[in-house]
Amino acid sequence: MSLPSPFTIARIETFVLRVPIDKPVIAAFGTFTDRVAVLVRVEDGDGAHGWGEIWSNFPSYGAEHRARVLHAAVAPRVLRQTVNDPAALWRALSAATHVWAVQSGEPGPLAAALAGLDQALWDLAARRAGAPLSALLGGTSDAVPVYASGLNPGDGPAIVERKRAEGYRAFKQKIGFGEDIDLGNLRALRQVLGEDERLMVDVNQGWSVEQAVRLAPAMADFALDWVEEPIVADRPESEWRACAAAYDVPLAGGENLRGDDLFSAARGDVLDVIQPDIGKWGGVSGCFAVGHAAVAAGKRYCPHWLSGGVGLMHSAHTLAAVGGAGYLEVDANDNPLRTALIAVPALRDGALPLPRAPGIGVEPDLDACGRWLTDRRESH
In the predicted structure, residue 90 carries a pLDDT above the cut 70: yes
CATH of the domain at 258: 3.20.20.120
Phi-psi region of 246 (alpha: psi -120 to 50; beta: other; left: phi over 0): alpha
Residues 292 and 157 in one domain: yes
- In a domain, residue 360? The reply is no
Residues 208 and 59 in one domain: no
> Structure pTM?
0.96
Q: With residue 111 as reference, give the H or E element that holds it.
A: helix 107-129
Q: pLDDT tens digits for 91-103?
A: 999 999 999 999 9
* Strand bridging mode 198-202 / 82-83: unpaired
The whole-angstrom separation of Cα 35 and Cα 81 is: 33
How high is the pLDDT of residue 21? 80
Residues 178 and 237 in one domain: yes
Residues 191 and 340 in one domain: yes
- In a domain, residue 359? The reply is no
Q: Can you point out the beta strands (E) in the chain?
A: 7-27, 30-44, 49-54, 82-83, 143-151, 170-174, 198-202, 227-228, 251-253, 273-274, 300-301, 328-331, 351-353, 373-379
In the predicted structure, residue 80 carries a pLDDT above the cut 80: yes
pLDDT band at 83 (very low <50, low <70, confident <90, very high): very high
CATH of the domain at 15: 3.30.390.10
For 73-93, give one letter per residue: b (16+ CB within 10 A) or e: bbbeebeeeebebbbebbbeb
The whole-angstrom separation of Cα 115 and Cα 37 is: 14
- In a domain, residue 185? The reply is yes
How high is the pLDDT of residue 267? 55
- In a domain, residue 288? The reply is yes
In the predicted structure, residue 266 carries a pLDDT above the cut 50: no
The whole-angstrom separation of Cα 138 and Cα 65 is: 35
DSSP class of residue 357?
Answer: S
Residues 237 and 323 in one domain: yes
The whole-angstrom separation of Cα 347 and Cα 278 is: 22
Residues 83 and 149 in one domain: no
Residues 158 and 107 in one domain: no
Tell me the backbone φ, ψ of residue 291, rounded to 5 degrees. Answer: -60, -45
- In a domain, residue 1? The reply is no
Which residues are 6's β-sheet partners? none
DSSP class of residue 277?
Answer: B
Quick one: average pLDDT of 208-234? 96
The whole-angstrom separation of Cα 333 and Cα 313 is: 17
The whole-angstrom separation of Cα 312 and Cα 80 is: 28
Residues 120 and 147 in one domain: no
For residue 94, what are the contacts with CB-CB under 8 A and spacing of at least 6? 111, 114
201 class by beta-carbon count within 10 Å (0-12 exposed, 13-18 middle, 19+ buried): buried
Residues 297 and 180 in one domain: yes
In the predicted structure, residue 342 carries a pLDDT above the cut 50: yes
- In a domain, residue 307? The reply is yes
Domain carrying residue 293: 135-353
Q: Sign of torsion, CA 162 168 170 175?
A: negative
- In a domain, residue 310? The reply is yes
Range with the lowest mean pLDDT among 28-32, 40-44, 45-49, 349-353? 28-32
How high is the pLDDT of residue 38? 97
Q: Are 321 and 288 contacting, i.e. CB atoms less than 8 angstroms apart? A: yes
In the predicted structure, residue 4 carries a pLDDT above the cut 50: yes
In the predicted structure, residue 32 carries a pLDDT above the cut 90: no
Q: Which of 276, 290, 373, 365 is nearest to 51 (CA)?
A: 365
- Structural domains counted in the chain: 2
In the predicted structure, residue 265 carries a pLDDT above the cut 50: no
Quick one: average pLDDT of 81-110? 95
Question: Is residue 6 reached through a cis peptide bond, with omega within 30 degrees of 0 on the bond before it?
Answer: no
- In a domain, residue 242? The reply is yes
Q: How far is CA 325 from CA 247, 272, 298, 302, in A?
A: 21, 12, 10, 8
Q: How far is CA 113 from CA 123, 202, 361, in A?
A: 16, 26, 22
Residues 237 and 249 in one domain: yes
For 228-242, give one letter per residue: b (16+ CB within 10 A) or e: bbbbbeebeeebbeb
How high is the pLDDT of residue 58? 82
Residues 255 and 139 in one domain: yes
How high is the pLDDT of residue 333? 87
Residues 208 and 346 in one domain: yes
